[in-house]
């Protein structure tokens, strides 16, 4: 039996606890590893963070870093940088096992110097001209499910059950 591939989600300097809580819940439900890179705009015990993640915290594989240099010193990639400034779409990439999907802070995105140094790894989600960006937690969910779709949703349930009825 082959081992389930690993998908890593990286939030760089998140500012809004509800977004981070929603991302944590997405990671918990999809068995993705979550990496939080500081400084963050809230305390990790923030009530809004915990509320957004509800009762899924025990499912999380989460690692904290002081900053980007700490993160890069401890992780090897491959890294895929989600940014509205990228030249190619997130669906044009075949994501390997161990991929890191990297997302920037809600108000500023990822540092442009980092993007410029890694142009081939910068990807974007298409959207209407004049729109600034999608919500961070929504962007993460779209990215996660694209990778998992490519991997045929390993070890995830692909069916549900009705509470009061049976599917035919």
Residue 131 has pLDDT above 80, yes or no: yes
Q: What integer is the mean pLDDT of 130-145? A: 95
Residue 144 domain-assigned?
A: yes
Residue 156 domain-assigned?
A: no
Residue 166 domain-assigned?
A: no
The answer to whether residues 19 and 133 touch, using CB atoms and an 8 Å cutoff, is: no
Residue 3 domain-assigned?
A: no
Domain count, the chain: 1
Query: Which residues fall in the annotated binding site for S-adenosyl-L-methionine?
Result: 104, 125, 133
pLDDT of residue 54: 57
Residue 129 sits in a domain whose CATH number is: 3.40.1280.10
The mean of the pLDDT values for the chain is 91
- Nearest Cα to 25, choosing from 137, 143, 151, 149? 137
Six token digits for residue 89: 């779409």
How crowded is the C-beta side of 63, counted as CA atoms within 13 Å? 14
Kindly report the pTM of this predicted structure: 0.92
Residue 135 domain-assigned?
A: yes
Residue 98 domain-assigned?
A: yes
Query: Which residues fall in the annotated binding site?
Result: 104, 125, 133
pLDDT single digits (tens) 120-130: 999 999 999 99
| Domain span holding position 143 | 8-150
Residue 114 domain-assigned?
A: yes
């Amino acid at each position: 039996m082959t081992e389930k591939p690993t998908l890593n989600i990286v939030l760089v300097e998140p500012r809004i606890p509800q977004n981070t809580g929603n991302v944590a819940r997405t990671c918990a439900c999809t068995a993705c590893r979550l990496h939080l890179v500081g400084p963050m705009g809230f305390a990790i015990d923030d009530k809004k963070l915990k509320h957004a993640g509800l009762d899924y915290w025990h499912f999380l594989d989460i690692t904290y870093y002081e900053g980007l240099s700490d993160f890069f010193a401890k992780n090897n990639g491959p890294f895929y940088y989600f940014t509205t400034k990228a030249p190619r779409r997130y669906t044009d990439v075949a994501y390997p096992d161990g991929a890191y999907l990297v997302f920037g802070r809600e108000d500023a995105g990822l540092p442009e110097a980092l993007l410029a140094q890694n142009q081939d790894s910068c990807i974007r989600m298409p959207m209407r001209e004049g729109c600034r960006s999608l919500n961070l937690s929504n962007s993460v969910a779209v990215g996660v499910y694209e990778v998992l779709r490519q991997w045929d949703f390993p070890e995830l349930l692909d069916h549900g059950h009705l509470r009061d009825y049976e599917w035919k």
